[in-house]
Amino acid sequence: MDSAVKIRSGAEVRRLARTGAFTGQTAGQAPDHLQANVVILPAAHAQDFLLFCMNNPKPCPLIGLSRPGETGIASLGADIDIRRDIPRYRIYHDGSLAQHAEDITPFWAHDMVTFALGCSFTFEEALIRAGFGVRHIEQGRNVPMFKTSIQTIPGGVFSGPVVVTMRPYAKDQIPAIFDLCAKYPHAHGTPVFWGDPKQIGITDLGSPDYGDPVDVRAGETPVFWACGVTPQAAIEAAKPAICITHAPGHMLVSDLRSDVPPDISVGMADLQFHKT
Report yes or no: 228 and 122 within 8 Å, Cβ to Cβ. Answer: no
- Determine the pLDDT at residue 246: 94
Question: In this predicted model, what pLDDT tens digit does every residue of 208-233 receive, in sequence order?
Answer: 999 999 999 999 999 999 998 899 89
Give the pLDDT mean for 246-257: 92
3-class SS at 178? helix
3-class SS at 87? coil
Q: What is the DSSP string of 124-140?
A: HHHHHHTT---HHHHTT
Query: Residue 120 carries which DSSP code?
Result: T
Question: In this predicted model, what pLDDT tens digit does every residue of 64-119 receive, in sequence order?
Answer: 999 999 999 989 998 999 999 999 999 999 999 999 999 999 999 999 999 999 98
Q: For 10-119+239-261, which CATH class?
A: alpha beta
Give the predicted TM-score (pTM) of the model: 0.89
Domains 10-119+239-261 and 121-230 share a fold: no
How many CB atoms within 10 Å of residue 254?
A: 27
CATH pick for 121-230 out of 3.40.50.11890, 1.10.600.10, 3.30.2040.10, 3.40.50.720 = 3.30.2040.10
- pLDDT at residue 271 is higher than 60: no
Q: Which of 259, 236, 276, 248 is nearest to 90 (CA)?
A: 248
Burial class for 114, CB neighbours closer than 10 Å (0-12, 13-18, 19+): buried
List phi, psi (to 5°) of 4: -75, -20
- pLDDT at residue 276 is higher than 50: no
3-class SS at 268? helix
Residue with the bigger pLDDT between 7 and 2: it is 7
Query: CA 117 to CA 233: how far, in whole Å?
Result: 15
Question: In this predicted model, what pLDDT tens digit does every residue of 42-66 receive, in sequence order?
Answer: 999 999 999 999 999 999 999 999 9
Domain positions in the chain are 10-119+239-261, 121-230
Strand-pairing partners, residue 42, are 112
Query: CA 268 to CA 154: how far, in whole Å?
Result: 22
Confidence of residue 1 (pLDDT cuts 50, 70, 90): low
Radius of gyration of the chain (CA): 17
Confidence of residue 125 (pLDDT cuts 50, 70, 90): confident
